[in-house]
Amino acid sequence: MMIDSLSLYPCHSLTVTGQLRTTQYYKRHFDEPRTEQSEVWGTCDYYFETNQNAEVLRQIEVYENGKTLKYGEQFKEDEFGFLADQPLVHSDIENFEINKTDFEYQWQK
């Protein structure tokens, strides 16, 4: 899985109007193309749902060729990858926040 393109270390919690938010959502694009079993999947948009400690709760990978991988509590890994097992780094994701609706739209596809 290409998750290693992100630095994965503990990060600071984000706040909104002085209150701790318990769930955040992010989308990051990675330009590194992926190939699986001689099939080019292309570049990828990663979607993350994280808790207040930036631990990934759910993750979606949407590739150029239309393939989508989804990981969460009920489905943590398969032959192509796995749910991130380290917290995301705040400085790597802080400018890529999206809203819950955008994340859920991708999750329900």
Task: Say what the pTM is.
Answer: 0.80
Whether the CB-CB separation of 88 and 11 falls below 8 Å is answered with: yes
Residue predicted with more confidence, 9 or 107: 107
Tally of domains within the chain:
1
**E strand intervals along 1-109:** 15-16, 19-20, 23-36, 39-51, 56-63, 68-71, 77-78, 81-82, 97-98
Spatial CA neighbour of 108 closest among 63, 64, 70: 70
**Res 60 pLDDT > 50:** yes
Domain that holds residue 57: 2-108
* Segment 70-99, tens digit of pLDDT: 999 999 999 999 999 999 999 999 999 999
